[in-house]
Structure 1
Amino acid sequence: MKIIKSLFAFAAFFAFNSVSAQTIIEKWPQIKAYHEVMSKTFHSSAEGNLNPIKTYSELLLEKAKALSVENMPEEFRSPKLIESLVVLKRDTKTLYDLVQQKGNDDEITKVLGKLNDTFLSIVSMSKTEKK
């Protein structure tokens, strides 16, 4: 019986954390739109296919420009998260410029990886920094 209770507690804890991670994406339409483009470009780049990011870098930049503190849900606003948002927007522009200048694939992959890390950081911070 203790094992069942322990498993239930573990499952509940895991489910709670999964729901929290999705909250900012669910409550902030602009970050959700950014995530949709990011996910279809980043995952293929991890497999060595950079065509999606080369095709969608302008769309990703548009989605980044739509992100602002003003349209961020109040409950997620914190100095660290706002700072990460600024970095995300800046690095998205850097990636776009790199693609437009036909930068080499290693550079594009590196910048895209850093961008993904920043995005994941924003999602992670939104779990811990919620008011």
Structure 2
Amino acid sequence: MKKYFFVLLLMGLAQWSFAQKGTGWEELDAYHTVMAQTFHPAEDGNLKPLMERSGELADKAKTLKAAEIPAKYQKEGVKSTIKLLAKESKAIDKFVKTKPSDADLTKAITALHERFHQVMEECMH
């Protein structure tokens, strides 16, 4: 149990460090900025930023997917997870345009946020 807690603590600290300092990977940091500015308001029930910026989120993901992965992040799973992130970011942009319920949109951005954290975790390992 202690070991599991310690691993979670280290992952949390690393993600906090990335958020504070950036990763040094410009495209990933740009995506993270838009993700934070759309997801965190959604956590509080404010979906307006997501509805207004879903296209930007998809564009940043597309740019990230096309970018060269810095050497320190060329790890197993990173490239394939970024492809999924780009696909799902594009899908959420299309989903926003269908005017879904707030609950469905919140569920979608939460899933996308979890995918983003998967990318970050793979970069850290």
TM over 0.5: yes
Q: Distance in 2 between matches of 1:116 and 1:33?
A: 14
Residue 77 of structure 1 is matched in structure 2 by 74
Higher deviation after alignment, 17-26 or 46-55:
17-26
With normalisation by structure 1, the TM-score equals 0.77
Q: Distance in 2 between matches of 1:42 and 1:19?
A: 16
Q: Distance in 2 between matches of 1:99 and 1:67?
A: 21
Runs of 4+ in structure 1 over 2 Å off: 17-21, 23-26
Q: 1:41 to 1:19 in 2, by over 3 A?
A: closer
Say which SS state the counterpart of residue 67 (structure 1) adopts: helix
From 34, 46, 49, the equivalent of 2:46 is: 49
Residue 14 of structure 2 is matched in structure 1 by 18
Structure 1 counterpart of 2:14, one-letter code: S
Percentage identity across paired residues of the two chains:
26
Say which SS state the counterpart of residue 122 (structure 2) adopts: helix
Q: Distance in 1 between matches of 2:25 and 2:89?
A: 18
Q: CA deviation at 1:46?
A: 0.4
Say which SS state the counterpart of residue 40 (structure 1) adopts: helix
Q: CA deviation at 1:32?
A: 0.5
Higher Rg of the two aligned structures: 1
Higher deviation after alignment, 119-128 or 17-26:
17-26
User: Unpaired runs of 5+ in structure 1?
Assistant: 1-9
Q: Distance in 2 between matches of 1:78 and 1:28?
A: 14
User: Unpaired runs of 5+ in structure 2?
Assistant: 1-5
Q: CA deviation at 1:20?
A: 8.9
Residue 31 of structure 1 is matched in structure 2 by 28
Structure 2 counterpart of 1:66, one-letter code: T
Q: Distance in 2 between matches of 1:20 and 1:46?
A: 18
Higher deviation after alignment, 17-26 or 36-45:
17-26
With normalisation by structure 2, the TM-score equals 0.80
Residue 89 of structure 2 is matched in structure 1 by 92
Q: 1:25 to 1:68 in 2, by over 3 A?
A: farther
Q: CA deviation at 1:124?
A: 1.3
Structure 2 counterpart of 1:80, one-letter code: G
* Structure 1 vs Structure 2 CA RMSD: 2.5
Q: Deviations over 1:107-130 (max 9, x none)?
A: 2111111110011111111111xx
